[in-house]
Structure 1
Amino acid sequence: MRDLNFRPKAFLFDLNGTMINDMEYHTMAWYSIMTEDLGSDLDYASVKKEMYGKNHEVLERVFGKDKFSQEEIERLSVEKEKRYQEGYLPNLALLPGLNNFLDRAKAAKIPMAIGSAAIPFNIDFVVDGLNIRHYLDAIVSADDVQMSKPDPETFLKAAAALGISAADCLVFEDAPKGVESALNAGMQCLVLTTTHAVEEFDGYPNILGYITDYNDAKLNLLF
């Protein structure tokens, strides 16, 4: 930990790649749709780079703003989430050590929230599928915000829902855009290296450290 004196009063979790290791399944679902259904010649690595924000934002970044009607966007989004859930369900699991970490935080009466660009359909799939709703004091989804990460709205709304100041929150993230969102919200961040290499986070001054999962001994410093 960079700042050994920081004792957060709340934990804010991104979901995908942070509480669960599922980003590969999101990428595979979009890759399937973009190449097989939509005839794109994008390679897998190019699709992976677009894996942030709301579904319509992903489509707009890849194909342009006026390519699809709202009805087509909704249809493609539903199909993408269907393929994602079907692919990931057999492997649905919390990251190693997270269950124990959630227990410790709950016992220490540290409020916790999810701040994610996922839609409620996918958040419920994870939260209820893994029976972790009782740990959470708030959930902010894609449907709750106007602006996606790296805008700070998601994490600021999560902090407000908990009644905790931004400066007292610690964000757990796995993506550079999420770390930037936390920075814009005035929040410190711990990075899970499930999806991106450490080198991809160069230049973010709000990162306290990097962990591969929640068994990392550095987390003991938070309590």
Structure 2
Amino acid sequence: MSTKAFIFDLNGTMIDDMHFHLKIWHDVLTNDLGAKLTLEETRSHMYGKNDELLARVFGEGHFTPEEVAEISLRKEDKYQEAFKPHLDLLPGLFDFLEEAHQHGIRLAIGSAAIPYNIDFVLDNLNIRHYFKVIVSAHDVLQSKPHPEVFAKAAELLGVPAHNCTVFEDAPKGVEAADKAGMQTVVVTTMHTPEEFNNRANILMYTKDYRNPLLKELLLG
């Protein structure tokens, strides 16, 4: 059997935290920075890197790189403080990671999160040892829906794209996986199946990792 790999997005895919990111971003954008956005408008901007989100809301060049870095860190500090009491893997994920490891499946993270937030999850939950490869926002030039993050993860794992399965919670992430030539499992923590427009690379939808159908991915 060919070597297989699972590539995981982080936020909303491994942990159910997107509602915290939404609340904190809305607070920072509206109360700290003066943007007049509804909660739903804020939600529509929540993809890609933090600097890209700020550029979408305020325009390119509105903030200096130093200001972007300061705003981003302030936002992530607020997020980590609010979410840490709730930090946990989605139900069934720890066992799924262990079973994948036992089956010789290579594991990676491909996320638009900055290393600060990836470390927050991996180290507090003691799961770093499962992931041979971590591709963060700092490791790519193009954000999802560009396929760079997943293509780079596959390359570093040494696994062809067609043998990689991506776990994602967002439509733009699924689109990125499709462009990379990878099948996708959609975790419905933040988005409904209707938001994914029946994209052809979707294997299944699941609310967590207790779904018995996931066993087939381990054995297939």
1:207 to 185, 198, 202: 202
Does residue 64 (structure 1) correspond to residue 30 (structure 2)? The answer is no
Identify the residue that residue 120 of structure 1 maps to in structure 2: 115
Identify the residue that residue 141 of structure 1 maps to in structure 2: 136
1:170-208 deviation digits (Å, cap 9, x = unpaired): 000000000000001000001000010110001411001
Distance 1:81 1:48, change over 3 A: same
Aligned-partner SS, 2:63? coil
Structure 2 Cα separation of the partners of residues 75 and 115 of structure 1: 24
1:184 to 179, 187, 198: 179
Aligned-partner SS, 1:217? coil
Identify the residue that residue 36 of structure 2 maps to in structure 1: 41
1:93-115 deviation digits (Å, cap 9, x = unpaired): 00000001011001101110000
1:49-103 deviation digits (Å, cap 9, x = unpaired): 1111000000011111122111211111111111110111010000000001011
Does residue 23 (structure 1) correspond to residue 18 (structure 2)? The answer is yes
2:169 to 154, 171, 174: 174
Identify the residue that residue 50 of structure 1 maps to in structure 2: 45
Q: Which runs of 5+ in 1 are unaligned?
A: 1-6
- Normalising by structure 1, we get a TM-score of 0.95
Structure 2 Cα separation of the partners of residues 191 and 203 of structure 1: 11
Structure 1 Cα separation of the partners of residues 187 and 3 of structure 2: 17
Identify the residue that residue 98 of structure 2 maps to in structure 1: 103
Structure 2 Cα separation of the partners of residues 46 and 219 of structure 1: 34
Give the superposition deviation at 1:40: 1.7
CA RMSD of aligned residues (A): 1.3
Moved over 4 A (4+): none
Identify the residue that residue 14 of structure 1 maps to in structure 2: 9
Give the superposition deviation at 1:8: 7.5
Identity, % of aligned positions: 55
The answer to whether the 8 A contact 2:3-2:159 is kept is no
Give the superposition deviation at 1:26: 1.1
User: How many residue pairs get matched?
Assistant: 218
Identify the residue that residue 86 of structure 1 maps to in structure 2: 81
The answer to whether the 8 A contact 1:8-1:170 is kept is no
Aligned-partner SS, 2:213? helix
Q: Which runs of 5+ in 2 are unaligned?
A: none
- Normalising by structure 2, we get a TM-score of 0.96
Structure 2 Cα separation of the partners of residues 214 and 151 of structure 1: 26
1:147-180 deviation digits (Å, cap 9, x = unpaired): 0001110001100111000000000000000000
Identify the residue that residue 72 of structure 2 maps to in structure 1: 77
Structure 2 Cα separation of the partners of residues 123 and 136 of structure 1: 12
